[in-house]
Amino acid sequence: MELIEGLYLLTTTVLAAAGLTLLAFALSAYHDSGRTSMAWLAVGFGLLVVAAVTTPIAAFRTGFANPEALLLVNTGLYAASTVLVAGSLAVYEPGTREFVISDTDLTEFQN
C-alpha cells in the first residue's frame, strides 16, 4: 500500500468515526425530543457515514479505475448530507421553540 492510500484510509476512518459520533448524538436528541429536525440531522449524518465508508471500499475494489464516478457518487452523498443537515436548521415545528426570538427582538422586527 502506498503512503497516499494509507493516508486516505486514515482520514476516511477519522471522518467515519466523527460522523458516527454525530449520528449517535442526533439519534439521542431525536429520541429525547421527537423533533423532526433531529431526524433530518440524523439522516444527514448517516449519509455522511455512508459516503465515508462506501467510497473507499468501492475505490479499492475497483483499483481506483474510475475516479470520476467515485468522486461523483461521493460528492453527491456529501451534498445530500449537507442539505439534510442544513434543512434540520430550517425546519420549523409549531409549538416548539426551535426558532427562539425574544419578544423584544420580535417587536423591533415588527416595527
Residue 91 pLDDT: 75
At 17, the amino acid letter reads A
| 74-93: pLDDT as tens digits | 999 999 999 999 988 887 66
pLDDT at 98 over 60: no
d(CA 105, CA 111): 10
- Can you tell me the mean pLDDT for 14-22? 96
Task: Specify the pTM.
Answer: 0.76
Q: What is the pLDDT of residue 89?
A: 83
55: its cell numbers: 467510497
Q: What confidence tier does 101 reach under pLDDT thresholds 50, 70, 90?
A: low
In the chain, the N- to C-terminal Cα span, in Å, equals: 65
Per-residue pLDDT at 100: 54
The Cα 20–Cα 17 span in angstroms is 5
